[in-house]
């Protein structure tokens, strides 16, 4: 193989490699955007809940939240939101999980997990194992029984 052939081959392999990386990144970028939009929508829900708590002194009922969920920007990207207000006492800690939504992605960069809204309004992404462990500690037997139906 002469010098010119080697140069052409190196350039060809470089272009193929760069193209492969770009395509892979673009495919996974969609999931990253969906996760970010879902987190933003859950944050808006958290702001609405905090506003209601400040005004009324308690968390809003599920019917109120259901009406608000449909108007959330990015709600489609969250999926089904599980709202746990009926199982939470007002004396609970700020770390109590108030609402959550499971998200599964077919991505190399964005892992499956849960978008979690805490009682104090914080929104975070949690891996499945960590989420299930925390939720199991916070759930009451009646909630677990109702959830299994």
Domain-embedded: residue 21? no
Domain-embedded: residue 14? no
Tokens of 47: 């702001």
Instruction: Note if the pTM is more than 0.85.
Output: no
Domain-embedded: residue 22? no
What does the pLDDT read at residue 145?
Answer: 75
What does the pLDDT read at residue 13?
Answer: 92
- Distant-in-sequence contacts of 140-148, Cβ < 8 A, 24+ apart: 140/87, 142/87, 143/84, 143/87
Domain span at residue 125 reads 31-147
Domain-embedded: residue 106? yes
Domain-embedded: residue 100? yes
- Residue 101 β-bridge partners: 115
Domain total in the chain: 1
Domain-embedded: residue 47? yes
Domain-embedded: residue 95? yes
Q: In this predicted model, what pLDDT tens digit does every residue of 65-100 receive, in sequence order?
A: 888 877 777 666 788 889 988 888 767 788 899 999
Residues of the chain falling short of pLDDT 50: none
Domain-embedded: residue 11? no
What does the pLDDT read at residue 76?
Answer: 67
């Amino acid at each position: 193989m002469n010098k010119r052939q080697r140069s052409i081959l190196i350039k060809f392999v470089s272009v193929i490699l760069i193209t492969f990386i770009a395509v892979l990144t673009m495919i996974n970028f969609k999931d990253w955007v969906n996760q970010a939009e879902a987190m933003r929508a859950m944050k808006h829900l958290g702001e609405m809940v905090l506003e209601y708590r400040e005004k009324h002194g308690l968390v809003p009922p599920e019917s109120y939240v259901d009406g608000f969920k449909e108007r959330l920007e990015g709600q489609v990207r969250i999926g089904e939101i599980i709202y746990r207000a009926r199982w939470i006492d007002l004396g609970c800690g700020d770390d109590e999980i108030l609402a959550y939504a499971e998200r599964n992605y077919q991505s190399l960069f964005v892992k499956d997990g849960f978008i979690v809204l805490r009682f104090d309004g914080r929104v975070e992404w949690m891996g499945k194992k960590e989420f299930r462990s925390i939720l199991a500690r916070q759930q009451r037997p009646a909630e677990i029984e109702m959830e299994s139906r």
